[in-house]
Amino acid sequence: MLVCCGTGCLANGSHGVYREFEKMLKYADHSVKVKAVTKATGCNGLCEMGPIVKILPDDIFYCRVKASDVEDIVRETLAGGRPVERLLYTDPATGKRVKSHRETDFYKNQQKIALRNIGEIDPANIDDYIQRGGYRALAKALDKMSAGEVIDEIEKSGIRGRGGAGFPTGRKWRHCAGANGATKYIVCNGDEGDPGAFMDRSIMEGDPHSIIEGMAIGAYAVGARKGYIYIRDEYSLALKSMSRAIEQAKERGYLGDSIMGSSHSFDMDIVRGGGAFVCGESSALIASIEGRIGEPRAKYIHATQRGLWDKPTVLNNVETWANVPVIIDRGSGWFNSIGTGKSKGTKVFSLVGKVQNTGLIEVPMGISLGKIIFDIGGGIPGGKAFKAVQTGGPSGGCIPGSMMDLEVDFESLGSAGSMMGSGGMIVMDEDTCMVEVARYYTKFLAEESCGKCLPCREGLRRMLDILNDICEGRGHKEDMDTLLEICEALREASLCALGKTAPNPVETTLRYFREEYLEHIQDKRCRAGVCPDLTEYYIDESLCRGCGLCAKNCPAGAITGQPGSAYIINHDLCTKCGRCRRVCKFGAVGIGGGAVV
Amino acid sequence: MRVIIDGRECLARRGEYLLDVAKRNGIFIPTLCHSDALPGQSSCRMCIVEVVEGGRSKTVASCVYPVLGDIEVKTNSDKIRRIRRTLVKLIHASSPAGKHMEDLLERYGPLPENRFEVAEGEKCMLCGLCVSACEALGTGAISTINRGTAKEVAPPFKEPPEACIGCGACAHVCPGDAIEMKEQGGIRTIWDRNFEMLECTGCGEYIMTRQQQEYIKAKDPEGTVELLCEKCKRKKTVDGFRDAFKNTGF
């Protein structure tokens, strides 16, 4: 029995489910004839339906399991060999119950490489990892391959950095291997500061040994003896899981001196990050490890030449490292056959926002955005219209609904004005105001910029001023040009990638949703009803049935009327929370405001 | 290395910073946060130039861009001028009262009416030179605190800094004249701390703080700190020479 104990399921009480299983099985009567083992696993991905319990070998997939369901599972499934129907996943399209998760659209369309073990193993148990082929690649590299051959293999696989920039990993390793100096370092970036992103966290929590193995292979390839994994301090479960795994690997001789009897020695430590978003930027991360203020420096000289403590350094992100052992194990040809022309392999995304199946997914490069959002994600909840998807974290761009055929790879996302980033994917429906989205991310970036270079600090400050003005009804028509002018300065003159990509949310919303900016500026109206100063709710007399539900729900007591006749909103009292609109069963509450009313 | 800057061929050593190459060849690139004594801030980004390499153009900060191959450089293209002007507008909005604005307005003014709420009276543009100077001296009395738009230069806990020796290097390097340093009646006041000034033993002019003298002594216990101003030091040297050659016939 595999009980998902990823952060999402834990928050929904999965540890209670796990304990209940342990207790039940201890005292189970002899009707349970199998010798059952319960394992707490990492994140299964379908966080929306958690806590998740999988039962092997029949591959039964239970959703939203509560501790009180455990008795039924033990009696029906373990003793009786029958699935508990009510806990099975319901296919939203057909309404039918599905026994195995493999039959669901959510899992069917995925391909798991980086997430290969997550949800299948107990991350606290190194033997689980080894049983599924773990540390085989490290043995192969040390035993049968030269350092150069390892680099060749990584280069031929075509894998590119999963942290955002997409730099070819093999080329990075080659630069570092060729750099002068006896001391070299391996660094893993587990800072993951994007709001709504949890790809790296899930890997660190659910399959920590895959990262350690990847780093040990990388260290062998470039000739490094020491590595660091930088984990943000808020990730307490990831920190626990990684430190336990490092200890285990040391005990078993996968880390330390003369690994597996070879001449290769490699050791690693965890560095805890303080939670600054900018420390996900490689040079700021290095500064932070060195104990300095987390500010980036110019990268005209790469870290592979002069990185941590000015020594040649390979810095890759968690997901990249987790891919390395599989590439070495299964060969570059296999990996290279997955994906598109310049983007090989798979990519992990955290699919969140206004989508049915929020959660963690891994898909082959080149899959269309539409397939991710509608097939895997199950579309938009509540019958709302799909509006846009933001990819690549806070400094990614918003891609409109009309571009759902877009292939998800480094090049296509870039040409659409967005980016791959580390894999955040935030879905937005018709109730989202795109100007407010741009304002929100600009505010995040203005606060999280390190503030060292002028264009980023002052540019973001002033862009935020303008966006605040537009959202609060003080926008001018020239503001759109001023925004674009500052965007250019940010993109071209900023010191690091945070500033260079920070214009994306503003530029893409201006490019694809210009009419919403115009409505805000000229008509003083927010069509989504998000910006309070530009929103006025009204009740359409012809649609109102006089049920009074809106008045009952109004927290401000702003709606009055007599049952049976149309109700009226008192605009002096209305706080524009929008609850009346959400509860009205007849669609009688409309959004007006500004020049329209 | 052969570097063509604005159509002119210049020679550069490998790894030399582009700004230094341009300067040596008499080509002007505007800077605010650059100081020859404290190079590498690269925070104001006024020194951006276009570098064309292998047919591709990129914008770089010339103060930290090392020349590693044959490149063509445009210091004043339309794009660069446009972005620099935007930067000047941003600087004007955030530090309109800084001394650096005088030169910027002369070169890029007059500016259009500022779209933003101007930070009236603000002089600091957060170039970071003061912090670097203090760090280079080994005192580390001030630092930047916070990040993003909340960033500022301050002593620890915004209290009068214990580590400060009152040397005034921060005020001296500041392009905006933003660090207040007052001297009155033999007392220097900076960062809300008062420092006793020591007089030149030659002419009586105030030359350094007592803490400065102690700091130098602690760094070099064997040496002696002569309390002489630059003028008196020169005079003493010249007098010394004169005495030495007095009876030699020269």
Which residues, numbered 19 to 78 in chain A, qualify as contacts with chain B under a Cβ-Cβ cut-off of 8 Å? none
Q: Is A40 left (phi over 0), alpha (psi -120 to 50) or beta?
A: beta
Shortest distance between the Cα of B197 and any Cα of chain A, in A, equals 34
Please determine, for residue A595, whether its predicted confidence score (pLDDT) is greater than 60. Answer: no
Can you give the pLDDT at residue A584?
A: 94
Given this model, what pLDDT does residue A596 score?
Answer: 45
Q: Give chain B's mean pLDDT.
A: 93
Q: Is residue A168 part of a domain?
A: yes
Q: What is the mean pLDDT of residues A284-310?
A: 94
Chain B: residue whose CA lies nearest to A453: B43
- Taking CA atoms, what residue in B is nearest to A494? B45
> Mean pLDDT over residues A157-172, rounded?
94
Say if B69 is an interface residue toward chain A (CB within 8 Å): no
Chain B neighbors of A478, CB-CB under 8 A? 115
- Which pLDDT belongs to residue B250? 62
Same domain for B101 and B13: yes
Q: Which residues in chain A are contacts of B156 at CB distance < 8 A?
A: none
* B chain contacts of residue A276, beta-carbon cutoff 8 Å: 147
User: What are the DSSP calls for A370-431, one per residue?
Assistant: HIIIIIIS---GGGPPEEEEEESSTTS-EEEGGGTT-B-SHHHHHHTT---TTSEEEEEETT
Q: Please tell me the distance in Å from A332's CA to the nearest CA on chain B.
A: 30
pLDDT digits over B112-139, tens only? 888 888 999 999 999 999 999 999 999 9
pTM of the model: 0.92
* Residues from chain A contacting residue B143 (CB–CB below 8 Å): 293
B135 and B114, same domain (yes or no): no
**B65 vs chain A: nearest CA distance in angstroms?**
6
Q: Check whether residue B39 and residue B110 sit in a common domain.
A: yes
Mutation to test the A interface, candidates B64, B78, B86, most A Cβ within 10 Å:
B86
pLDDT digits (tens, 9 = 90+) for A43-76: 988 988 989 999 988 889 999 999 999 999 988 8
Does A401 map to a domain? yes
Average pLDDT, integer, range A195-211: 93
* B180 and B67 co-located in one domain: no
Instruction: Provide the pLDDT confidence category of residue A95 given band limits of 50, 70 and 90.
Output: confident
Task: Determine the structural domain holding residue B141 and report its residue range.
Answer: 129-241
Task: Give yes or no: residues B119 and B192 share one domain.
Answer: no
Shortest CA gap B154–chain A (Å):
14
Average pLDDT for residues A356-381, to the nearest whole number? 94
Least confident of A46-50, A495-499, A530-534, B181-185: A46-50
Out of B124, B158, B184, pick the residue that ends a domain.
B124
A79 C-beta neighbours (distance < 10 Å), count:
16
Range of the domain at A572: 535-592
The pLDDT of residue A194: 87
**Could you tell me if B59 and B48 are in contact, meaning their C-beta atoms sit under 8 angstroms apart?**
yes
Q: Are A391 and A399 in contact (CB under 8 A)?
A: yes
Confidence grade of residue A102 (pLDDT, cut at 50, 70, 90):
confident
The answer to whether A489 contacts B87, with C-beta atoms less than 8 Å apart, is yes
Of the residues B94, B124, B154, which one is the last residue of a structural domain?
B124
Q: Which residues pair with B206 in a beta bridge?
A: B199
Give how far A520 is from chain B: nearest CA, Å: 18
Residue A7's domain is classified under what CATH number? 3.40.30.10
Tell me the chain B residues in contact with residue A447 when contact means C-beta distances shorter than 8 Å.
Answer: 147-150
CATH number of the domain to which B10 belongs: 3.10.20.740
CA–CA gap between residue A580 and residue B84 (Å, rounded): 50
Is any Cβ of chain B less than 8 angstroms from the Cβ of A480?
no
Instruction: Give the confidence band of A93 by pLDDT, cuts at 50, 70, 90.
Output: confident
If asked whether residues A326 and A356 sit together in one domain, one would say no
Place of tokens 């489910």: A17
How close does chain B come to A219, measured CA to CA in Å?
A: 28
Question: What integer is the mean pLDDT of B4-20?
Answer: 95
The answer to whether residue B49 neighbours chain A at the CB level (below 8 Å) is: no
Q: What is the pLDDT of residue B248?
A: 75
Q: What pLDDT, on a 0 to 100 scale, did the predictor assign at position A594?
A: 67
Report which secondary-structure segment, H or E, holds A316.
strand A313-317
* pLDDT tier, A92 (very low <50, low <70, confident <90, very high otherwise): confident
Q: Which candidate in A462, A487, A521 is best for mutational testing of the B interface (most B CBs within 10 A)?
A: A462
CB contact under 8 Å between B42 and A495, yes or no, is yes
**Least confident range of A11-15, A36-40, A406-410, B142-146:** A36-40
B149 touches chain A (CB under 8 A): yes
Residue A59 in tokens: 């591959």
Residue A453 contacts B where some CB pair is shorter than 8 Å: yes
Q: Which of A103, A135, A156 is the last residue of a domain?
A: A103
Burial (CB count <10 Å: 0-12, 13-18, 19+), residue B206? middle
Chain A to chain B, count of Cβ pairs less than 8 Å apart? 106
- Exposed/middle/buried for A132, CB within 10 Å: 0-12, 13-18, 19+? middle
Taking CB atoms and an 8 Å limit, are A454 and B48 in contact across chains? Answer: no
Residue at A108 is within a domain: no
**Terminus-to-terminus CA distance in chain B, angstroms?**
50
CB-based contact, B48 to chain A, within 8 Å: yes
Per-residue pLDDT tens over the stretch A396-430? 999 999 999 999 999 999 999 999 988 899 999 99
Tell me whether residue A189 is in a domain.
yes
Determine the average pLDDT of the residues in A162-190.
95
Same domain, yes or no: B19 and B104: yes
Q: Are residues B50 and B152 in the same domain?
A: no
Preferred mutation among B60, B90, B131 to probe A, highest tally of A CBs within 10 A: B90
Which pLDDT does position B249 carry in this prediction?
66
CB-based contact (8 Å) between B67 and chain A? no
pLDDT confidence of residue A291: 93
Q: Specify whether B22 is located in the same domain as B118.
A: yes
Write A557-566 long-range contacts (CB < 8 A, 24+). Answer: A566/A539, A566/A541
Question: Mean pLDDT over all residues of chain A?
Answer: 93
**How many domains is chain A built from?**
5
